[in-house]
Amino acid sequence: MSSLIKVNLTFSGGVELLFNNIKQKIIEIPSTINPPKPTTMKDLILWIKDNLLQERSELFVSGNTVRPGILVLINDTDWELEGELEYEIKDNDEIVFISTLHGG
Amino acid sequence: MDKLRSANSQGEKVLVGFSGGPSSRAMLQLLSDYNEVLPNERSKKPLFSEVLVCHIDESPIFNLDDSDDHDVILNQIEQIAQNYNYPFIGLRIDDIYSPDYTSSGAYNKVLEVTLDKSSPQEIDELNAKICQQETSTKKKLHLLLDGVSKLTVKEDLVWHLKQCLLINTARKNGCTKLLLGDCSTRLSIKIISFTSKGRGFSLPLDISGLNPWFGDVTILRPMKDTLSKEIGIYNKFQGFETTIIKSLTTMMPPKASIDRLTEEFVVKLERDFPSTVSTISRTAAKLTPSELIDSDNHCVICLMPFQKDNKIWQSRITVMTTPSSSTMIKTQDSTSEYSSKNSSTCSRAATCCSSDCCTSKDHNINNLTDLLCYACRVNMRDIKGITLPPYVTEDVEKRNGRENLKKSIHDIFIDGKLIIGWFNSIDLIIKCLIADGSFLVLPSDVMKFIKTINEKDKEAYGFLVTYYAFTERSFEAIERHFTVLENDIVKLIKNIEKTINKRNFRKLKIEKNENIDEYIAAIKKRKKGLKEAIEIKDRKIMEHEITIEAK
């Protein structure tokens, strides 16, 4: 069965406004949200959208990924190097969302 | 990453425009890294002798209730500047309404602008009047922003106010450089949105890394080759917490304003085609300012240059009245007497309003549209009635004064030997002195002239003031040296006065409100006009009190 994994989320640069000004949050999510595949970034983003996002989801997600202009770092590495949405989340991963624009 | 080297400046004072956002945060760090001189490098000089950090607090735009929260942010920002040991200047966006931010430093009239829909012209005329308002600066700012319905226009206005504040602050503190933290992503957004808003003429200046337009203050944009993503990562690894500054479009949907929409567009493109931003900014960087750029043609609101005669061009390309709408107006007219009644009362109200203005020393400005750039004029179409800050008013008045001076000199031109012209202030006299027939008079020439006057006390040398001699250039030249010359001019005038008194010139006074044209006509009638001298006694007689010789 699926076990819970811990993920450390950080929001900064303005994204935290969408999350009630919470800058950091440790969440626990199932290791397989969509069995049998392990949880990926895609699942995580949707999970965040459904569970954490307070308002205006269109300012955080567009389609099934984050809005352009929001920088995502996985363990201090640009997520583009980690396979973006296909990245499989591991226990104790640190994921940072930084908005690089003032508009959101 | 540091492109600060682009400036070949040595030991200059700089002002950093620091919003608290990621880009200016990174800029501050890079600047301090770059400017730092380690103790073991004694021969090295810091690039900038002094760095001032200026933050403009935009919160007065919103009626924020949670002021505690806001104070925390301001403290954070000030703390950041103090960490670098840079002096911090905290301004509020409504400070633009205080008289400190005009070029004279003591001017507090605002310009009330309303849209004149009644005129059937193709371009909406603007009614503007200068008046004194006694409300708080914050209230004035709200009056400005509430009078505008479109968010795009609001954003534009806020940016113009900010830019003016920054430049004036830099001037006041003797800074020769102003650093702005526009990153490459922001610039490419600006490029597209400014083009779409009709700012193409001044665009090369607006986006260049080095903007010399303001003369004594050069605007540098050291972050212009850095992507916002790079800045984000840089800040993350430096461990910087950037503060979140609310702007007008924060939390707004993408279609809220042109700027916001362009931002969305550029950023979305950038994701699929990663070199979009650099392509846009590098292409636009190849633009060079037009040769037609002329310091006399600057917009009074955004301070940027505009193309001469752009109003004519605008009226040529714009269709304001479609056939169908004009018939609609006709039917409306026929159906409702009410509207015509209404308009008559309106016009009556307007006239009595204007007479009120005269008594209270308010002036109506008729040609405001001529002093605006295309983009600002388009913006003005959207207003309901706004009050523009004193810096605009001052500029408008100055420019109008210039036009009037030109006209009045032309009117009064009589080829004689003494000072001829209509003077209403001492600096106008200087301007007349300057323009003693040559096309470009340097301040040194004036000094020379004054000296000859002083030596040859017997006779006041007259000079011919010709209309064409009033090149804008000579105005500029003398304006810069005005304070140096004032005493000499007073002396000069006294000398002339003495001479005239010796010759038993009869004195004739013109009352303040007497029509100058009638007066001139009267002189011309007498046919002896050639030797007439119009003279100003001293500063107090500035109110058109003119002495005249009549034999």
DSSP SS3 for B448: helix
Q: In the prediction, which pLDDT does B324 show?
A: 45
Sheet holding A4-12, edge to edge: A24-30, A4-12, A93-99, A70-74, A77-78
Separation in Å, CA of B236 to nearest CA in chain A: 9
Give backbone dihedrals phi and psi of B236, rounded to 5 degrees, phi first. -60, -45
Q: Does A98 touch chain B (CB under 8 A)?
A: yes
Domains and CATH numbers, chain A: 4-99 (3.10.20.30)
Q: Which of A52-56, B122-126, B323-327, B343-347 has the lowest mean pLDDT?
A: B343-347
Asked if B432 and B465 count as a contact pair (C-beta separation under 8 A), the reply is: yes
Cβ distance of B252 and A103 shorter than 8 Å: yes
For A55, which residue in chain B has the nearest alpha carbon? B251
Separation in Å, CA of A77 to nearest CA in chain B: 9
Separation in Å, CA of A51 to nearest CA in chain B: 20
Q: Please name the residue that has the structure tokens 């949907």.
A: B253
Q: What confidence category does residue B434 fall into, taking pLDDT thresholds of 50, 70 and 90?
A: very low
Residue A75 CB neighbour total at 10 angstroms: 13
Mean pLDDT (whole number) for B346-367: 41
Separation in Å, CA of B209 to nearest CA in chain A: 20
Residue of B434, B425, B429 whose CA lies nearest to B475: B434
Percent of chain B residues past pLDDT 70, beyond the cut: 45
For B69, which residue in chain A has the nearest alpha carbon? A21
Q: In the prediction, which pLDDT does B214 show?
A: 76
Cβ distance of A14 and B232 shorter than 8 Å: no
Q: How far is residue B441 CA from its own chain's centroid?
A: 26
Asked if B13 and B50 count as a contact pair (C-beta separation under 8 A), the reply is: yes
Cβ distance of A101 and B263 shorter than 8 Å: yes
Between CA B166 and CA B169 the distance in angstroms is: 5
Looking at 3.90.245.10, 3.30.365.10, 3.30.1330.30, 3.40.50.620, the CATH number of the domain B4-314 comes to 3.40.50.620
Mean pLDDT (whole number) for B379-390: 74
Cβ distance of A12 and B231 shorter than 8 Å: no
Angle at B187 between CA B246 and CA A71, to 5 degrees: 60
Q: In one letter, which amino acid is B540?
A: K
Q: What is the pTM of this model?
A: 0.65
Q: In the prediction, which pLDDT does B189 show?
A: 87
Q: Is residue B535 over pLDDT 50?
A: no
Of residues B297 and A97, more confidently modeled:
A97
Convert the pLDDT of each residue in A30-77 to its tens digit: 877 777 788 888 888 888 888 888 777 777 887 778 888 888 888 888
Q: What confidence category does residue B365 fall into, taking pLDDT thresholds of 50, 70 and 90?
A: low
Separation in Å, CA of B228 to nearest CA in chain A: 6
Collect all residues of chain B within an 8 Å Cβ-Cβ radius of residue A14: 244, 250
Instruction: Find residues 72-91 of chain A whose CB sits inside 8 Å of chain B.
Output: 73, 76, 78
Copy the structure tokens of residue B58: 């935009």
Range with the largest mean pLDDT of B208-217, B243-252, B339-348, B355-364? B208-217
Q: What confidence category does residue B404 fall into, taking pLDDT thresholds of 50, 70 and 90?
A: low
Collect all residues of chain B within an 8 Å Cβ-Cβ radius of residue A104: 250-251
Arithmetic mean of pLDDT over chain B: 62
Separation in Å, CA of A7 to nearest CA in chain B: 19
Between CA B217 and CA B163 the distance in angstroms is: 12
Separation in Å, CA of B391 to nearest CA in chain A: 28
Q: In the prediction, which pLDDT does B11 show?
A: 65
Q: In the prediction, which pLDDT does B421 show?
A: 33
Q: Is residue B135 over pLDDT 50?
A: yes
Asked if B166 and B101 count as a contact pair (C-beta separation under 8 A), the reply is: no
Task: Work out whether strand B48-57 and strand B88-92 pair parallel, antiparallel, or are unpaired.
Answer: parallel
Collect all residues of chain A within an 8 Å Cβ-Cβ radius of residue B66: none
Q: Is residue B18 over pLDDT 70?
A: yes
Q: Which of B30-44, B101-115, B361-375, B402-416 has the lowest mean pLDDT?
A: B402-416
Collect all residues of chain B within an 8 Å Cβ-Cβ radius of residue A13: 22, 232, 242, 244
Q: In the prediction, which pLDDT does B315 show?
A: 66
For B259, which residue in chain A has the nearest alpha carbon? A103
Mutate to test the interface with B, among A67, A98, A99 (most CBs of B within 10 A): A98
Copy the structure tokens of residue B206: 């607006």
Mean pLDDT (whole number) for B409-415: 32
Residue of B445, B404, B411 whose CA lies nearest to B534: B411
Q: Is residue B396 over pLDDT 80?
A: no
Instruction: Find residues 5-64 of chain A whose CB sits inside 8 Å of chain B.
Output: 12-14, 16-17, 55-56, 58-59
Between CA B72 and CA B358 the distance in angstroms is: 48
Cβ distance of B250 and A17 shorter than 8 Å: yes
Q: Which of A21-25, A56-60, B471-475 has the lowest mean pLDDT?
A: B471-475
Which residue among A73, A96, A100 sits closest to B231, beta carbon to beta carbon?
A100
Separation in Å, CA of B244 to nearest CA in chain A: 6
Cβ distance of A102 and B268 shorter than 8 Å: no
Separation in Å, CA of B404 to nearest CA in chain A: 46
Mean pLDDT (whole number) for B262-287: 83
Task: Please report, for chain B, the start and end positions of each structural domain, with discontinuous segments joined by +.
Answer: 4-314, 413-548
Residue of B325, B354, B373 whose CA lies nearest to B120: B325
Mean pLDDT (whole number) for B494-507: 45
Which residue among A13, A17, A68 sits closest to B267, beta carbon to beta carbon?
A68
Strand intervals (E) in B371-467? 386-388
Between CA B69 and CA A68 the distance in angstroms is: 29
- What are the residues of chain B with a beta carbon less than 8 Å away from any beta carbon of chain A? 21-22, 185, 228-229, 231-233, 235-237, 241-242, 244-245, 247, 249-253, 260, 263-264, 267-268, 270-271
Q: In the prediction, which pLDDT does B161 show?
A: 85
Q: In one letter, which amino acid is A61?
A: V
Of residues B29 and B393, more confidently modeled:
B29
Between CA B195 and CA B219 the distance in angstroms is: 20
Separation in Å, CA of B26 to nearest CA in chain A: 12
Between CA B2 and CA B36 the distance in angstroms is: 13
Which residue among A16, A78, A100 sits closest to B22, beta carbon to beta carbon?
A100
Between CA B141 and CA B386 the distance in angstroms is: 9
Q: Is residue B2 over pLDDT 60?
A: no
Which residue among A12, A13, A68 sits closest to B268, beta carbon to beta carbon?
A68
Cβ distance of A69 and B263 shorter than 8 Å: yes
Collect all residues of chain A within an 8 Å Cβ-Cβ radius of residue B245: 102
For A60, which residue in chain B has the nearest alpha carbon? B251
Copy the structure tokens of residue B92: 């509020």
Which residue among B185, B242, B252 sits closest to A13, beta carbon to beta carbon?
B242
Cβ distance of A101 and B267 shorter than 8 Å: yes
Mean pLDDT (whole number) for B225-254: 77
Cβ distance of A17 and B242 shorter than 8 Å: no
Which residue among B21, B233, B264 sits closest to A102, beta carbon to beta carbon?
B21
Q: In the prediction, which pLDDT does B438 show?
A: 30
Asked if A103 and B249 count as a contact pair (C-beta separation under 8 A), the reply is: yes
Which residue among A56, A69, A73 sits closest to B236, beta carbon to beta carbon?
A73
Convert the pLDDT of each residue in B172-182 to its tens digit: 888 888 888 88
Asked if B387 and B105 count as a contact pair (C-beta separation under 8 A), the reply is: no
Between CA B339 and CA B347 the distance in angstroms is: 12
Mean pLDDT (whole number) for B411-437: 37
Collect all residues of chain A within an 8 Å Cβ-Cβ radius of residue B244: 13-14, 16-17
Say how many CB pairs under 8 Å bridge A and B: 60
Separation in Å, CA of B187 to nearest CA in chain A: 12
